Chain A
Amino acid sequence: MIQRIKNSEHLEKISREYTAEKNEQSILLCAGGGCMASGAMDVKSALQDALKQNRLSIPVKETGCMGPCAAGPVIMIHPEKIVYERVSPEDAGEIVTTHFIEKRLLKRLIHRNSASREEAPALDSIDFFKNQKKIVLRNCGRIDPGKIEDYYTERGYSALANVLTGMKPEDVVQAIKISGLRGRGGAGFPTWMKWEFTRKAEGELKYALCNADEGDPGAFMDRSVLEGDPHSLIEGMVIAAYAIGAREGFVYVRAEYPLAVSRLQKALEQAREAGLLGKNILNTGFSFDLSIRMGSGAFVCGEETALMNSIEGHRGEPRPRPPFPAQKGLWQKPTLLNNVETYASVPAILMNGPETYAAIGTDKSSGTKVFALAGAIETSGLVEVPIGTSLGELIYDIGGGIKNGKTFKAAQIGGPSGGCIPKEHLSVPLDYDSLAELGAIMGSGGLIVMDEDTCMVDVARFFLEFVQEESCGKCVPCRVGTKRMLEILNRICEGRGEEGDIERLIELGNMIKETSLCGLGQTAPNPVLSTIRHFRHEYEDHIRRKHCEAGVCPGLVRAPCQSACPANVDIPGFVSLVREKRYAEALRLHRERNPFAAVCARVCFHTCEDHCRRSTLDEPVSIRGIKRFLVEQEVTIQIPEVRENPENEKRRVAIIGAGPAGLSCGYFLARLGYKPEIFEAESRPGGMLAQTIPAYRLPRETLAREVRMIERMGVKIHTEKRLGRDFSLESLKQQGYEAVFMALGAPENLPLGVAGEDTAGVVQAVPFLREYNIRGSVPVGNRVIVIGGGNAAVDAARTAIRLDAEEVSILYRRSQEQMPAYAEELEEALNEGVALRTLVQPVEIVSDKNGRVSGLRCLPMTLGDFDRSGRRGPKAAEEEPEFIPADQIIIAIGQRLDPKPVLGSLAVETRPDRFIAVNQINGQTSVPWIFSGGDMVSGPSSVVSAIAAGERGAVGIDEYLSGETHAFWREEWNNDTAYDPDEAPVPYPREKLPTIDVERRRSNFDEVELCWTEASAMRQCGRCLRCDYGKSPVRRETKEKEAARV
C-alpha cells in the first residue's frame, strides 16, 4: 500500500523511515537488460536458496543496470559495496558461505583492473566505477526500481516538492538556465530555451513529452534509466510540466523495451497513488498526468516531429520545421520534448543546486553525459562522465583499453548520425562543440570502439545501410541520396569502386545534409563523410588497389593474412603446401610475390599474424615460424619463372639503392625480361638488411643467397656508386637509361636536439650498426646508453651487448607498451641483459674534462594527454632531473630523407615531410621516367613494405616503357592443396621458434632464433583455417590497372 504524500515534510518523514531499512545488509542484483539476458534471475533464485539453506535473512534486491554489462550478471553486496562479476547460479552457494559466513572475499569472482591487473573488490577501487561521475545514473544499480520508497531514500521527489511549494515556473526555467543543461538527445540544444519557448507559447493546452525512442545501435542509457530509476524521469517530467504549464504528457518508448515499459508503468501507478502525479499533486493544486505511448521501433521516430506524428496515430514521419514544437507540436499545441537523460538530470540539478551542476563539465557544456561503450573495448557497458572528459580517458581509464591487446583505430560516436574519431584525436574532450569540429556528434552517447581489424569503409557502409533502411522515404535526398551513397559504398567494398567515387560520396553527402527534411537525413552522411575525412587512404586502397587492409570486405579479401601482407603473399597457399611437404612449390609460390622468403622468415614484422582469423579461436598461426621452417628446406635456390623478352632486354632501367625495395624492383623487372642495373652507394648490397640488421637476426649468408639469386636472374649490381657523388639522375638519362627506380631509403639521422650532442662518444645508431656490419668493427663503450624505442635502438643495444659492453640500457621517453620496436626483439634484448628505462627524457649530454661523454641528464616523465599518435604523450613529471653515467651514447630516434642533394635540379615532387611523392599504384613520381619506393617514399617502414613498393615500381616501369602490364605473377592462382571444411580445427596451440641460450649469445653474432622440427611445423600448418578455401582469388591488379588509367 503506497501512502499518499501530503507535503514535503511528510515525504521526508517517510523517506527517513525507509532509510533505516535500506541501510541493512543486502545483496543488490543487477536486473538491467544485459544482466537479465545473461541469467541474472537464475542467479537471484540460486542466491535466495543458498541464503535460506544457511538461514541467513539477507534480502536479494533487484536494481537497474550497474553499468559493466559485459561482466554480467553482476551483484554488489550492500553496504560494503563489494562487487562480484560473471556470477552464475552455481556460484551462489560459494558466495554465501565465503562472503557471509566465512567473511572472506570470493576472489575468483572479483574484478581485476585491466591496466594494473590488480584485484579490485570494492566498487570504489574498480577503474570502471571510480572514474565515473554519476548524476543521471545516480540511482541505477543502487535502488530497487520497483519501490518508490527506495527512490524516496535517495531524496527522490524532494526536488519536485520544493518546486511546487516554493518556486514559480519562471524560477524553475531560470534554475535550468543556470545549470547550463543541454538536451541529451543528440543536438545539445539548451534545455532552458526549449522550456522558455514552450512556457511562453500561447495556448491553454500544452504537452510535455519524453523521447524514449532510443534507436541508435549500441545506445541504451535511456532504457537503463527507465528500467533502473523510472521515478527520476517522472519527477523530472512533472517539474518540466510545471515550468511550462502542461497538464498532460506522454513518454514515447519503443515496444522493444518491454522491461522498461513495465517498470515505468509500475512507477507511474505508484507515483499516482502517492499523489506525485495526476490530479492535485502534493496538494498544491497543480495537476499533471503522464502515460506511455509505444512505438514500433522506427529510428526516425526519435525525430521530434515524427515522434509526435506517431503519438497522434499517423505514420511516423517528420514534418517541416518551423513551426517548432514549442509553438505547434503534438496536435498542433505547444509541446516540450526532451529525452530521458535530460529529464532524469533535472531532479538532481534542483536537489543539489544548479550552480553545483554547472560546475561539472566544461564552460559551454555543463554536467555529465552517459555513454554506452561497445565494440573492441575491454569493459563494455554504460558509463557516466563529466562532459569534457577525453575520449582516451573514457576508453583507457574507464573502459580498460582495447580488447585482446589490439590497437585502437577509431571510435564511432553518436550512432548512425555520428562520425568516426581516429586515434589522432583521442585527446578530444567529449563535448558537443569539440565533437562537431571533428565531424562527429555527441548524439545519444553510443560509442563504438574499433580496433585495427575494422575496415572503415565497411563501417561507413554498415551505418549507411541502417539509415537507408530506417529512412522514412518522405524526402528525396534521404530516400534516394542515401541509397545512391550506399550503392557506391557497396561497389567499393566489392572491389568495383571507380575513380571519382570518393568525390561522388562527398558531393552527395554534403547535399543530403543540406537539403534533407529532418535530422535523420541531415546527419545520415556523417559516418561516410567522417570516415572519408579521417581514413581517406582506406577508401583509396579499396578503389585503386582493390585492397582491404583490415581484411574485412569479402569481395576484396581472400584471406585476412594475405590482405594484411603488403606484398600480398599467398599465405594460405604456401602454408598448405608446406603441410603437404611440397616445399619447392611453397617457396615458388612465396617468391611469386616476395623474393626474400629467407630474409622475411627472419625479419618480417608479420602483420599477417596480427590479422590471422585463428586468433578469434585461440591464437594466430605462427606464419613466420612456418616460413622459417620452409626456407630451411631449400638446398639450392631455384630461379623463379623469368620470361625472356628481347624488346625489354633492350630497354635500359637503372635502380638506385640495393636495399629491399631496389632489389625487389630489379627482381620483378628481371622476371619480365629486363636487364636492370642497380647502383649501390655502399660496398655491399642489401641496404638496411645488410647495414643495420645484425647478423644474429639475419645471417649474412642468408641475405647473400637471395641477392645472388636476383643477380643470377640478370640484375647487375654496381656497388660504391653514390648518387650525387658518382652520378646524377640527369647523367643516367644521358647514358640512355629510359627509366629510373629510386630507393635510397631514409639515410639521414634525426638529431636528439639537446646540448652536448656533438660530444665524443655520442653516435647515431645507424652509422654505429653500419660500421660494425659492413666493416666488422666499431668502438663500443662500457656503459652504453641507447636513446630511442624503435628497432634500431634494440638492434644497437643488442649489438653493444655482443660487443661486450658491460652495461647497456635503452632509454625511452614513453612507456614500454608504446615502444615501436617489435615486442619479441625487445624481449630478447631484455633476456640478454639490456636494461630498459622508460619515461625519461634526455635533456643534456654531459662530458668529462677530456671532452668525452660522461653521462646523460634526464628528466623523469609521466604520461599525459593522448597525442596525435593515439598514445598518451609524455610530459615532464614533477621530479628533479637525474644523471645517468655513460661512456657511450647511441641515438636512435629516427631517420629521415634530405631530398635536395640527391634530386639535383630535377623537379621531383616531395611531400611536406620531405619524402618523395608518388602515385601509390605504380610508384611514379612527378617526373614521368623516375619511379620511387621504399623508405624514401613511406618514411622508415618495414622490409616487406619496401619489397611491395619495389614490385609496384617494376610493374609501373614496365607499363611506362611498354605501354602494357605483363605482371604474370599477379594473375589468378588456385591452390590445389587438400582441405576438408567439415573437419574440426586442430587443437594445437601457437608455438614459438626455439632460440639459443642467452649465455651463448655474448661475444658472438650467431643467429638467435632456431628452426622448428618438421613435426612442429606440420602441427602449426594444420592450425591454418584456410580462409582462402572456396574463394577464387581476386584478380585485383587487373582492376588496379583499369583504375590507374581512369
Chain B
Amino acid sequence: MYNITINSLPVSVDRNETILEAARKIGIRIPTLCFLEGHAPLGACRACVVEVEGAKTLMPACATPVQDGMKIKTNSRRVREARRMVVELLLSEHNGDCKYCERGEDCELKALAIELGIEDERFSGERLEPALDDSTPALSRDAAKCIKCRRCVTVCNEVQGVGALFPQYRGFSAVIGPAFSRPLDSVACVQCGQCAAVCPVGAITERNHIDAVWAALDDPKQHVVVQTAPAIRAALGEEFGLEPGTLVTGKMVSALRAMGFDAVFDTNFTADLTIMEEGSELLMRLTRLLKNHENIALPQFSSCSPGWIKYLEYYYPEMIPNVSSCKSPQQMFGALAKTYYADKIGKKAEEITVVSVMPCTAKKFEALRPEMRDSGVQDVDYVLTTRELARMIKGSGVAFTELPDGQMDAPLGLSSGAADIFANTGGVMEAALRTVYELVTGRPLPGENLQVRPLAGLEGIKEASLILENVKPEYDFLEEVEVRVAVAHGLGNTGKLLDRIQAGKGDYHFVEIMTCPGGCIGGGGQPRFTDDSVRQKRIEAIYKEDEGKPIRKSHENPAITQIYEEYLGAPLSERSHHLLHTKYTAREVVQ
C-alpha cells in the first residue's frame, strides 16, 4: 500500500493503482474522455490532468500510477485552467452543430464544457472538414465531429479485433477512420457498432431508420408489426432515467402500441424457434458423426449474431461449414411474419412492414443481406436500435415511466424463458442445452434453476461439458457421450477461441458466439454508456425475466408447437429450410 494525499486528503492505495482510480475511490471526480475502463490508458485527451507535486508538467490521472508519498491536486486553479483550455481547444476543432446533433442530451464533450464553465469561444480557427461516411447500412461516421479520443479505435482493435478504424495522418489533419480514409464499407468492418456505443460525441452513430418507421406507421395501406429483441427490455429504461437492469417489457409494449404498431410481437418467439431448429441441427450433426460416421463439421457455431457472421465471412471463411444454417431470430421472424402471419390475417407479404427493435447495429446490415428475402420481399424492413426506439417514444409524447404494462400479441409474441436469455452471453447455449438435453434424455437439464453456471458471467471465453446418460433409445449413440461446449463474447475473444479450435486445442460440439461484450445486452445499439457493471445489471434483469416465466424451455412454448403443427411441420423440414435457414459467403478483407 502507498500513502498519498489527494487535495490534502490522506489516502491509502494499492501500488498498481492510477491516480484516477485512487481519486474515484474517495469520490473525487476527475473528468475523462479518452479513458476506457479495462484498457491501457492512452493519455490522449488530457482532460484528466492533475497536478503532482514535483512534476514539471501536469500529469494525466488515467495513465499515471501512484507513488508512495505522492501529493496530488485535482482541482487547483492550474488544473482547472488547463482542463478548460483542453476542452476549449476540442470545441474549437469540433465541427458539429449541437442544435442538430442526436447526442444533444448525452454528449460527453458538451457535458464537460458545461462542467468546466465554458461559455464562449476564445480560440476560434479552422474546423475539421465535414466528411460524412454513411457507406454502410448500419453506421454513420462524421469525421468533423470526431475528437480523436480513440475509444472507437480501442474497441475496434482490442475488444473486437477487427481493426477497421485507426488513427491516420498527422497534426491537425489527423483523422480516425478506415485505411487511407476510404469509406467504411470498403474495409472489413462487421458493423457491430461498438464504436458507436463508446463514442463520446456524435461522430459515430447508427444509420437512422426513425423517419422511415414513422412513414410506415402513417401509411394506412401497411400493416406494421414490430418485434423486440430480448435485450431491449433490460436496457430501454435507462434512456428514461431508470436504473440499469430495470425491466420495462410491459411499458415497452404499451409504448409501441401507443405509437401505432398494428401488432407488437417478440423476437423471443423466433428465439425459441431458433432453439428448435439449431438444437435439431446439432442433433443431426451429432447423429451423422457418431452414428453414421460421416465427415461432418463440428463444433457447430451459433448464428444469431450478425456481426459475428460477417466476422467469420471475412476472417475465418474456412469455418463457414461449422456455422448453424439457422437464420438469426430477427430474420426468422421477418420471414414468418410475411408468410405464416400474413396468411393468418389474410394479407400479402408486400402489405406487411416488419420493424425490429434491436440492441444491435449489425442487424441493420443483416436485414439488407440479399439472402434475407425468403418471403418474396425483404423480410425485415426496418431495424431500430434501442436508442432509436427511445427517441421515437420521446418524440411521440408518451410518458414512458407512467405507462401501464402491456402484453405482447399472439401468436408471434409468445415465448419461453429460454428465449429471454438469448440476450446475454451464454444464453443461447443454455437455452439450447435445456431443449437438447431434454430431447435426448427425456429429463430436464440438471442444475439449479436450469442454469449452466460455468456459462454465466463476463469472462471472455467460457467452457462447460456434460455427460449424457440414460438417453432415449433413439439417441443411443449419445449414451455416455460428453458434450463439450464453449461460449465466447466479443470478437477479440472469438478470434482467440477460433484460433484455439483451429489449432486443435478445443474439441467442442457446440459453440456460442456473441459479437458484443456481454452478448446482446452490451450491443452497439444499446443506451450509452455501457460498462461491465451495467452489463452485469442487465444480465441479472434478463435472468429475472427468465425465472419469472411459466415456461422456461423453448420446446414447451405452445406457440412453437402450434407453428410446427400448423405451418412448418417439423424442425429442419423443407419449409423451415426455406424460411428459417440460410447460407454464408466468404468475403474479401480488402476490396
Hey, which bits of chain A sit against chain B, CB under 8 A? 298, 300, 315, 317, 319-320, 322-323, 468-477, 479-484, 487, 504, 507-508, 511, 513-517, 522
Contacts of A476 in B (CB 8 A): 44-47, 86, 89-90, 147-148
Interface residues of B in 1-55 (CB under 8 A from A): 41-47, 49
B81–A511 contact, CB under 8 A?
yes
| A472 nearest CB neighbor, chain B only | B170
A-B contact count (CB 8 A): 112
Contacts of B147 in A (CB 8 A): 476
B173–A473 contact, CB under 8 A?
yes
A483–B41 contact, CB under 8 A?
no
A323 CA / B125 CA spacing, docked (Å): 35
Contacts of B167 in A (CB 8 A): 315, 317, 473-474
A508–B123 contact, CB under 8 A?
yes
Task: Give the shortest distance, in Å, between A141 (CB) and chain B (any CB).
Answer: 36
| A488 nearest CB neighbor, chain B only | B125
B41–A470 contact, CB under 8 A?
no
A483–B65 contact, CB under 8 A?
no
12 contacts between A and B (CB under 8 A): A300-B170, A315-B166, A320-B63, A320-B64, A322-B64, A469-B170, A473-B167, A473-B174, A474-B150, A476-B148, A508-B85, A517-B44
4 more A-B residue pairs beyond the given contacts A483-B171, A483-B172, A516-B57, with a C-beta to C-beta distance below 8 A: A319-B42, A320-B42, A470-B171, A471-B174
Task: From the candidates B44, B58, B122, B123, name the one contacting A514 in the complex (CB within 8 A).
Answer: B58
Task: From the candidates A317, A319, A514, name the one contacting B82 in the complex (CB within 8 A).
Answer: A514
B46–A479 contact, CB under 8 A?
no
Task: Give the shortest distance, in Å, between B70 (CB) and chain A (any CB).
Answer: 12
Q: Is B169 an interface residue (CB 8 A)?
A: yes
A655 CA / B64 CA spacing, docked (Å): 66
A477–B86 contact, CB under 8 A?
yes
Contacts of A480 in B (CB 8 A): 89-90, 92-93, 172
A479 CA / B90 CA spacing, docked (Å): 10
B172–A473 contact, CB under 8 A?
yes
A320–B46 contact, CB under 8 A?
no
| A511 nearest CB neighbor, chain B only | B85
A209 CA / B63 CA spacing, docked (Å): 24
Task: From the candidates B89, B126, B148, B169, name the one contacting A477 in the complex (CB within 8 A).
Answer: B89
Contacts of B523 in A (CB 8 A): none
| B174 nearest CB neighbor, chain A only | A473
A237 CA / B81 CA spacing, docked (Å): 44
Q: Known contacts A474-B42, A476-B90, A479-B148; decide if A320 and B60 are in contact (CB<8 Å).
A: yes
A479 CA / B60 CA spacing, docked (Å): 17
B171–A473 contact, CB under 8 A?
yes
B92–A473 contact, CB under 8 A?
no
Contacts of A469 in B (CB 8 A): 170-171
Contacts of B169 in A (CB 8 A): 473
Contacts of A514 in B (CB 8 A): 49, 57-58, 78, 82
Instruction: Tell me if B's interface is mostly helix, strand, loop or mixed.
Output: loop
B174–A515 contact, CB under 8 A?
no
Task: From the candidates A298, A315, A470, A516, name the one contacting B46 in the complex (CB within 8 A).
Answer: A516
A620 CA / B100 CA spacing, docked (Å): 61
Contacts of B46 in A (CB 8 A): 475-477, 515-517
Task: From the candidates A319, A473, A522, name the one contacting B57 in the complex (CB within 8 A).
Answer: A522
A320–B41 contact, CB under 8 A?
yes
B43–A517 contact, CB under 8 A?
yes
Contacts of B93 in A (CB 8 A): 479-480, 483
Task: Give the shortest distance, in Å, between B43 (CB) and chain A (any CB).
Answer: 4
| A467 nearest CB neighbor, chain B only | B171
Instruction: Tell me if A's interface is mostly helix, strand, loop or mixed.
Output: helix
Interface residues of B in 483-531 (CB under 8 A from A): none
Contacts of B42 in A (CB 8 A): 319-320, 474
Hey, which bits of chain B sit against chain A, CB under 8 A? 41-47, 49, 57-58, 60, 63-65, 78, 81-82, 85-86, 89-90, 92-93, 122-123, 125-126, 147-148, 150, 166-167, 169-174
| Best-buried of B89, B150, B169 by chain A (most CB within 10 Å) | B89
Contacts of B82 in A (CB 8 A): 511, 514-515
| A517 nearest CB neighbor, chain B only | B43
Contacts of B41 in A (CB 8 A): 320
Contacts of B47 in A (CB 8 A): 476
A866 CA / B46 CA spacing, docked (Å): 43
Contacts of A522 in B (CB 8 A): 57
Q: Known contacts A481-B89, A513-B57; decide if A320 and B171 are in contact (CB<8 Å).
A: no
A516 CA / B60 CA spacing, docked (Å): 10
Q: Known contacts A315-B167, A473-B172; decide if A484 and B86 are in contact (CB<8 Å).
A: no
A508 CA / B123 CA spacing, docked (Å): 9
Task: Give the shortest distance, in Å, between B50 (CB) and chain A (any CB).
Answer: 11
Contacts of A487 in B (CB 8 A): 125-126
Task: Give the shortest distance, in Å, between B88 (CB) and chain A (any CB).
Answer: 9
B64–A474 contact, CB under 8 A?
no
| B150 nearest CB neighbor, chain A only | A474
A917 CA / B334 CA spacing, docked (Å): 84
A516 CA / B59 CA spacing, docked (Å): 9
A106 CA / B541 CA spacing, docked (Å): 96
| A316 nearest CB neighbor, chain B only | B170
B125–A483 contact, CB under 8 A?
yes
Task: Give the shortest distance, in Å, between A466 (CB) and chain B (any CB).
Answer: 10
| B40 nearest CB neighbor, chain A only | A319
Task: Give the shortest distance, in Å, between A415 (CB) and chain B (any CB).
Answer: 17
Task: From the candidates B65, B126, B171, name the one contacting A479 in the complex (CB within 8 A).
Answer: B171
Nearest 4 pairs of A and B residues by beta carbon: A473-B174, A320-B43, A320-B63, A480-B89
A484–B92 contact, CB under 8 A?
yes
A514 CA / B82 CA spacing, docked (Å): 8
A484 CA / B91 CA spacing, docked (Å): 12
Task: Give the shortest distance, in Å, between A44 (CB) and chain B (any CB).
Answer: 40
B60–A471 contact, CB under 8 A?
no
Task: Give the shortest distance, in Å, between A481 (CB) and chain B (any CB).
Answer: 5
B123–A484 contact, CB under 8 A?
yes
| B45 nearest CB neighbor, chain A only | A476
A515–B171 contact, CB under 8 A?
no
A473 CA / B45 CA spacing, docked (Å): 10
A990 CA / B58 CA spacing, docked (Å): 59
A483 CA / B46 CA spacing, docked (Å): 17
| A300 nearest CB neighbor, chain B only | B170
Contacts of B148 in A (CB 8 A): 473-474, 476, 479
A482 CA / B150 CA spacing, docked (Å): 20
| Best-buried of A298, A474, A504, A508 by chain B (most CB within 10 Å) | A474
Task: From the candidates B57, B81, B170, name the one contacting A471 in the complex (CB within 8 A).
Answer: B170
| B51 nearest CB neighbor, chain A only | A514
A473–B86 contact, CB under 8 A?
no
A322 CA / B150 CA spacing, docked (Å): 20
A317 CA / B34 CA spacing, docked (Å): 16
Contacts of B64 in A (CB 8 A): 320, 322
Task: Give the shortest distance, in Å, between B406 (CB) and chain A (any CB).
Answer: 48
Task: Give the shortest distance, in Å, between A54 (CB) and chain B (any CB).
Answer: 56
Contacts of B65 in A (CB 8 A): 322-323
Q: Known contacts A477-B46, A481-B89, A522-B57; decide if A471 and B171 are in contact (CB<8 Å).
A: yes
B174–A472 contact, CB under 8 A?
yes
Contacts of A471 in B (CB 8 A): 170-172, 174
A727 CA / B78 CA spacing, docked (Å): 55
Contacts of A507 in B (CB 8 A): 85
A468–B171 contact, CB under 8 A?
yes
Task: Give the shortest distance, in Å, between A521 (CB) and chain B (any CB).
Answer: 9
Contacts of A475 in B (CB 8 A): 43-46
| Best-buried of A472, A504, A513 by chain B (most CB within 10 Å) | A472
B60–A468 contact, CB under 8 A?
no
A479–B172 contact, CB under 8 A?
yes
Task: Give the shortest distance, in Å, between B366 (CB) and chain A (any CB).
Answer: 33
Contacts of A322 in B (CB 8 A): 64-65
A479–B43 contact, CB under 8 A?
no
A471 CA / B379 CA spacing, docked (Å): 50
A479 CA / B89 CA spacing, docked (Å): 9
Contacts of B81 in A (CB 8 A): 511
Task: Give the shortest distance, in Å, between B409 (CB) and chain A (any CB).
Answer: 51
A13 CA / B365 CA spacing, docked (Å): 76
